[in-house]
Amino acid sequence: MNPANYLILAALLFTIGAVGVLLRRNAIVVFMCVELMLNAANLTLVTFSRINGTLDGQIMAFFVMVVAAAEVVIGLAIILTIFRTRRSASVDDVNLLKY
Protein backbone atom coordinates (compact mmCIF):
# COMPACT_ATOMS: atom_id res chain seq x y z
CA MET A 1 0.00 0.00 0.00
CA ASN A 2 1.22 3.45 -0.87
CA PRO A 3 2.54 5.09 2.34
CA ALA A 4 1.50 8.51 1.03
CA ASN A 5 -2.09 7.57 1.91
CA TYR A 6 -1.12 7.66 5.57
CA LEU A 7 0.15 11.20 5.09
CA ILE A 8 -3.24 12.19 3.71
CA LEU A 9 -4.98 10.48 6.63
CA ALA A 10 -2.69 12.32 9.06
CA ALA A 11 -3.40 15.64 7.34
CA LEU A 12 -7.14 14.95 7.68
CA LEU A 13 -6.77 14.12 11.38
CA PHE A 14 -4.69 17.25 11.94
CA THR A 15 -7.28 19.41 10.19
CA ILE A 16 -10.12 17.87 12.17
CA GLY A 17 -8.16 18.57 15.35
CA ALA A 18 -7.34 22.17 14.39
CA VAL A 19 -10.93 22.92 13.36
CA GLY A 20 -12.12 21.29 16.57
CA VAL A 21 -9.90 23.53 18.70
CA LEU A 22 -11.35 26.57 16.99
CA LEU A 23 -15.01 25.50 17.05
CA ARG A 24 -15.65 23.36 20.12
CA ARG A 25 -16.66 25.08 23.38
CA ASN A 26 -15.83 22.53 26.06
CA ALA A 27 -12.25 22.92 27.31
CA ILE A 28 -11.83 19.13 27.64
CA VAL A 29 -12.95 18.59 24.05
CA VAL A 30 -10.68 21.42 22.86
CA PHE A 31 -7.82 19.71 24.65
CA MET A 32 -8.71 16.34 23.08
CA CYS A 33 -8.58 18.02 19.68
CA VAL A 34 -5.03 19.22 20.49
CA GLU A 35 -4.14 15.62 21.34
CA LEU A 36 -5.61 14.56 17.99
CA MET A 37 -3.29 17.05 16.29
CA LEU A 38 -0.27 15.64 18.17
CA ASN A 39 -1.25 12.11 17.14
CA ALA A 40 -1.62 13.21 13.54
CA ALA A 41 1.95 14.49 13.78
CA ASN A 42 2.97 11.12 15.21
CA LEU A 43 1.37 9.27 12.30
CA THR A 44 3.20 11.58 9.91
CA LEU A 45 6.51 10.93 11.68
CA VAL A 46 6.07 7.17 11.55
CA THR A 47 5.02 7.27 7.90
CA PHE A 48 8.04 9.35 6.93
CA SER A 49 10.19 6.97 8.95
CA ARG A 50 8.90 4.20 6.69
CA ILE A 51 9.34 6.26 3.50
CA ASN A 52 12.86 7.43 4.42
CA GLY A 53 13.92 4.03 5.72
CA THR A 54 15.33 5.41 8.98
CA LEU A 55 14.11 4.71 12.48
CA ASP A 56 14.48 8.29 13.77
CA GLY A 57 10.85 9.11 13.07
CA GLN A 58 9.56 6.23 15.16
CA ILE A 59 11.72 7.24 18.10
CA MET A 60 10.59 10.85 17.79
CA ALA A 61 7.00 9.58 18.04
CA PHE A 62 7.85 8.27 21.51
CA PHE A 63 9.17 11.71 22.50
CA VAL A 64 5.92 13.27 21.31
CA MET A 65 3.90 10.75 23.36
CA VAL A 66 5.84 11.57 26.53
CA VAL A 67 5.42 15.29 25.94
CA ALA A 68 1.71 14.77 25.29
CA ALA A 69 1.39 12.85 28.57
CA ALA A 70 3.11 15.68 30.47
CA GLU A 71 0.79 18.14 28.78
CA VAL A 72 -2.26 16.14 29.89
CA VAL A 73 -1.13 16.36 33.53
CA ILE A 74 -0.74 20.14 33.41
CA GLY A 75 -3.77 20.72 31.23
CA LEU A 76 -6.25 18.68 33.24
CA ALA A 77 -5.00 20.30 36.46
CA ILE A 78 -5.68 23.76 35.04
CA ILE A 79 -9.06 22.83 33.56
CA LEU A 80 -10.07 21.15 36.82
CA THR A 81 -9.30 24.24 38.92
CA ILE A 82 -11.32 26.36 36.52
CA PHE A 83 -14.18 23.86 36.66
CA ARG A 84 -14.22 23.84 40.47
CA THR A 85 -14.43 27.62 40.51
CA ARG A 86 -17.02 28.11 37.84
CA ARG A 87 -18.88 24.78 37.67
CA SER A 88 -18.37 24.84 33.92
CA ALA A 89 -15.62 23.83 31.53
CA SER A 90 -16.89 25.97 28.66
CA VAL A 91 -14.27 28.19 27.07
CA ASP A 92 -17.00 30.79 26.45
CA ASP A 93 -17.45 31.31 30.20
CA VAL A 94 -13.88 32.38 30.87
CA ASN A 95 -14.33 35.89 29.55
CA LEU A 96 -13.08 38.27 32.23
CA LEU A 97 -9.91 39.16 30.33
CA LYS A 98 -10.71 40.87 27.07
CA TYR A 99 -10.01 43.79 24.76
Q: Are 62 and 43 in contact (CB under 8 A)?
A: no
From the CB of 32, what's the least distance to another protein, in Å?
11
Distance CA 17, CA 33 (A): 4
Whichever of 1 and 34 has its CB closer to another protein, that residue is 34
Distance CA 24, CA 68 (A): 20
From the CB of 5, what's the least distance to another protein, in Å?
14
* Residue ranges binding another protein (CB under 8 A): 7, 14, 17-18, 21, 27, 30-31, 34, 37-38, 40-41, 44-45, 47-49, 51-52, 54-57, 59-60, 63-64, 67, 70-71, 74-75, 77-79, 81-82, 84-85, 91, 94, 96-99
Q: Where are the alpha helices (DSSP H) in 24-89?
A: 27-52, 56-86
Exposure letters 15-39 (e unless 16+ CB within 10 A, then b): eebeebbeebeebeebbebbebbbb
Whichever of 1 and 82 has its CB closer to another protein, that residue is 82
From the CB of 27, what's the least distance to another protein, in Å?
7
